[in-house]
């Protein structure tokens, strides 16, 4: 059964209830067991009072002990019910947490590049991991505690009112002070716990940054500096945690005082009523038994408050991400882009990032199917931004980018990106095998197709020399491969994908000359018959492009073939002379 979509703009508790509602069977079982547990606690003092009033005075000892035996059996059943509550309630909590984590990850997958530009990886990891850990306990104990506490609290209140309304009134006055204290302390605990969650994200970010950059840190002998950065984040976390426990200590100590003073108040007032002949000893004993039943919900809620605060703080941060809208979305009437010829046009394109600083102004480019466009010029001029606008990693601020005459904003992102292959300077390899990394280009590819792609990328022979061939493990981020091997595996991915449009963003600039020449042969093979946009600093690699565009200061300052631009003796010619071409 497909779950209905959740409106994340709704009140948090309503959203939380929707997630729990996905597991109605376990929830109903948990609640049924909770009701039975509460009834056992309510019945025992009542049965005891009846027994002391009727069975003992009438010397019906057998009946009295039979009733006590039944109550003992009821508590055996209660123990079994508590076992079921722990097992099945926690199972429901784990499933709820798992649902939230799945939805959160899928939503993060939909967020645009601009979101990841602004948020550190470690902080995002904390959203998926630690922020949702406490949701299991909250999903299980939240409804269960509220139901048990409500039944025992109000049930015992009604019974106590029937025993002695004066004694009940004294207890309720003490309770009023307790409720007031609980409400004032609760918000302080919530604020402190939110701060703990934020600092946990900073700890994750510090760890992720340090581990990812461990080789650089060691190369510069900067281990002490990394330790200092981590210790600073750790100190902020420690301070937030200490403040949270201060708030929790105030809350719990107040609750303990309230429950203790309630016993004193009842005995004192009860003693006065007995002296005045308005209360019997049996009623006072029964009332005292109900005090435990009455106060237990308060104690239980006091202990549950930490779980609630931690769970709701994590849930609030979960909602914060879920309510973040992707900067780039499919239009409501977006069409599926079928197989394309490969015509690409940038029509009066301007672009600014969210800081408002312009990156591109009035860019006009046209690439016919199968042609090669080279983007050259100084760093920071906007070359990579031009290429990022084509697959809609970002949306243009003004103008339009078109593929086969269709504005890329009018087609679905998935169908658009299926027709575009991207190879960047910094290739990302997933921790896994060579086969898995090549297959990433087309997950349904057969082993034979993977081998064919590797052969065309001129990496097959080297793969076969690895210990396990295509099943060789390449390590985190492909650390066990050379730069050239990683680049050719990325080329094999694109061969497997077989797109009509290709973007090569500094694909060989990080390689040595010999390796670059080998990779260039693979890229030439890959580019054959495809519309290709090449970004390059080494101008020798783009001399034969159909069109070369010089990007400088947010504009296209020159464009034409190599020969045409050299004849102009402008910016491009100056760049060529600087590289001794």
pLDDT digits (tens, 9 = 90+) for 487-521: 888 888 888 888 899 888 876 655 566 666 777 77
Place of tokens 């109900």: 290
Top-confidence range, 215-219, 460-464, 519-523: 460-464
pLDDT band at 581 (very low <50, low <70, confident <90, very high): low
The residue among 252 and 408 whose pLDDT is bigger is 408
Containing 118, the helix (H) or strand (E) segment is helix 113-118
Q: What pLDDT does 400 receive?
A: 94
Q: What pLDDT does 345 receive?
A: 94
pLDDT band at 1 (very low <50, low <70, confident <90, very high): very low
Q: What is the mean pLDDT of residues 197-219?
A: 71
pLDDT digits (tens, 9 = 90+) for 256-265: 676 677 777 7
Q: What pLDDT does 515 receive?
A: 64
Question: Is the pLDDT confidence value at 435 over 90?
Answer: yes
Quote the CA–CA distance of 532 and 545 in Å, as a whole number. Answer: 9
The residue among 463 and 181 whose pLDDT is bigger is 463
Q: Give residues with Cβ within 8 angstroms of 22, minimum separation 6.
A: 3, 95, 96, 99
What residue segments make up the domains of the chain, in order of their start? 12-322, 340-419+503-512+536-581
CB 204 within 8 A of CB 125: yes
Quote the CA–CA distance of 254 and 242 in Å, as a whole number. Answer: 18
Least confident segment among 1-10, 321-330, 541-550: 1-10
pLDDT band at 397 (very low <50, low <70, confident <90, very high): very high
Question: Is the pLDDT confidence value at 430 over 70?
Answer: yes
Q: What pLDDT does 362 receive?
A: 92
The residue among 254 and 242 whose pLDDT is bigger is 242
Q: What is the mean pLDDT of residues 234-254?
A: 78
CB 519 within 8 A of CB 487: yes
Average pLDDT, the chain: 82
Question: Is the pLDDT confidence value at 522 over 60?
Answer: yes
Sheet holding 398-403, edge to edge: 358-367, 344-352, 398-403, 406-407
Q: What is the mean pLDDT of residues 85-109?
A: 87
pLDDT digits (tens, 9 = 90+) for 9-20: 888 888 888 898
CB 507 within 8 A of CB 521: no
What is the percent of the chain where pLDDT is above 90?
15
Strand runs labelled E in 392-505: 398-403, 406-407, 420-424, 501-505
pLDDT band at 179 (very low <50, low <70, confident <90, very high): low
Q: What pLDDT does 109 receive?
A: 86
First to last CA, the chain: 65
Q: Dihedrals φ, ψ of 347, to 5°? A: -110, 105
Q: What is the mean pLDDT of residues 176-181?
A: 71
Nearest residue to 421 via CA among 528, 331, 497: 497
Q: What pLDDT does 375 receive?
A: 92
Question: Is the pLDDT confidence value at 406 over 90?
Answer: yes
pLDDT band at 336 (very low <50, low <70, confident <90, very high): very high
Number of Cβ atoms within 10 Å of the Cβ of 262: 22
The residue among 130 and 219 whose pLDDT is bigger is 130
What is the three-class DSSP state of 298? helix
What CATH code would you report for 12-322?
Answer: 1.20.1560.10
- According to the 3-state scheme, what is the secondary structure of 431-460? CCEHHHHHHCCCCCCCHHHHHHHHHHCCCH
Quote the CA–CA distance of 313 and 139 in Å, as a whole number. Answer: 13
Q: What is the mean pLDDT of residues 198-222?
A: 70
pLDDT digits (tens, 9 = 90+) for 48-77: 777 777 777 777 888 888 888 988 888 899
The residue among 44 and 323 whose pLDDT is bigger is 323
Question: Is the pLDDT confidence value at 366 over 90?
Answer: yes
Q: Give residues with Cβ within 8 angstroms of 102, minimum separation 6.
A: none
Buried/exposed 161-184: b ≥16 CB within 10 Å, e otherwise: eebbeebbebbbebbeebeebbee
pTM of this structure: 0.69
Q: Which fold has domain 340-419+503-512+536-581?
A: Rossmann fold (3.40.50)
Question: Is the pLDDT confidence value at 372 over 80?
Answer: yes
What is the percent of the chain where pLDDT is above 70?
92
């Amino acid at each position: 059964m497909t779950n209905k979509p959740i409106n994340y703009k709704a009140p948090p508790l309503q959203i939380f209830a929707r997630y729990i509602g996905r597991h109605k069977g376990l929830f109903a079982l948990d609640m049924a067991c909770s009701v039975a547990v509460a009834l056992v606690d309510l019945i025992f003092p009542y049965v005891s009072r009846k027994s002391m009033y009727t069975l003992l005075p009438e010397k019906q000892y057998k009946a009295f002990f039979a009733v006590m035996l039944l109550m003992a059996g009821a508590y055996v059943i209660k123990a079994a019910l508590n076992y079921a509550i722990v097992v099945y309630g926690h199972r429901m909590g784990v499933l709820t947490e798992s649902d939230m984590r799945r939805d959160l990850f899928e939503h993060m997958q939909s967020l645009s590049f601009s979101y990841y530009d602004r948020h550190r990886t470690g902080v995002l990891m904390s959203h998926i991991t630690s922020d949702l850990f406490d949701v299991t306990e909250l999903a299980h104990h939240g409804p269960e505690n509220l139901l048990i506490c409500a039944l025992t609290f109000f049930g015992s209140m009604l019974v106590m009112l029937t025993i002695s309304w004066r004694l009940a009134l004294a207890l309720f006055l003490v309770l009023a002070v307790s409720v007031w204290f609980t409400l004032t302390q609760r918000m302080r605990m919530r604020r402190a716990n939110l701060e703990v969650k934020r600092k946990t994200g900073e700890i994750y970010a510090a760890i992720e940054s340090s581990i990812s950059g461990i080789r650089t840190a060691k190369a510069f002998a900067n281990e002490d500096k990394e330790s200092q950065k981590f210790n600073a984040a750790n100190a902020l976390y420690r301070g937030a945690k200490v403040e949270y426990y201060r708030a929790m200590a105030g809350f719990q100590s107040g609750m303990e005082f309230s429950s203790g003073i309630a016993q004193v108040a009842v005995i004192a007032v009860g003693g006065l009523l007995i002296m005045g002949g308005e209360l019997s000893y049996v009623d006072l004993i029964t009332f005292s038994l109900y005090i435990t039943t009455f106060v237990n919900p308060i104690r239980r809620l006091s202990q549950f408050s930490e779980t609630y605060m931690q769970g709701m703080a994590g849930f609030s941060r979960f909602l914060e991400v879920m309510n973040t809208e992707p900067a780039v979305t499919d239009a409501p009437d977006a069409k599926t882009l079928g197989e394309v010829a490969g015509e690409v046009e940038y029509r009066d394109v301007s672009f600014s990032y969210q800081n408002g600083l312009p990156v591109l102004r009035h860019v006009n480019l046209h690439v016919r199917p199968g042609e090669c466009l080279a983007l050259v010029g100084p760093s920071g001029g906007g070359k990579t931004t031009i290429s990022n606008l084509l697959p809609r990693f970002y949306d243009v601020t003004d103008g339009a980018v078109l593929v086969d005459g269709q504005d890329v904003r009018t087609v679905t992102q998935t169908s658009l990106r299926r027709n575009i292959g991207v190879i960047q300077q910094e290739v990302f390899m997933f921790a896994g095998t060579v086969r898995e990394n090549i297959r990433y280009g087309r997950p349904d590819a057969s082993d034979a197709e993977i081998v064919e792609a590797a052969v065309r990328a001129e990496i097959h022979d080297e793969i076969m020399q690895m210990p396990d061939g295509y099943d060789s493990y390449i390590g985190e981020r492909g650390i066990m491969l050379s730069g050239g091997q990683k680049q050719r595996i990325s080329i094999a991915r694109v061969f497997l994908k077989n797109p009509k449009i290709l973007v090569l963003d500094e694909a060989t600039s990080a390689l040595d000359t010999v390796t670059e020449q080998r990779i260039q042969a693979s890229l030439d093979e890959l580019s054959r018959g495809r519309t290709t946009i090449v970004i390059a600093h080494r101008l020798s690699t783009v001399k034969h492009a159909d069109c070369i565009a010089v990007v400088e200061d947010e504009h296209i300052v020159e464009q034409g073939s190599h020969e045409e631009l050299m004849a102009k003796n402008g910016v491009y010619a100056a760049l060529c002379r600087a590289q001794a071409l």
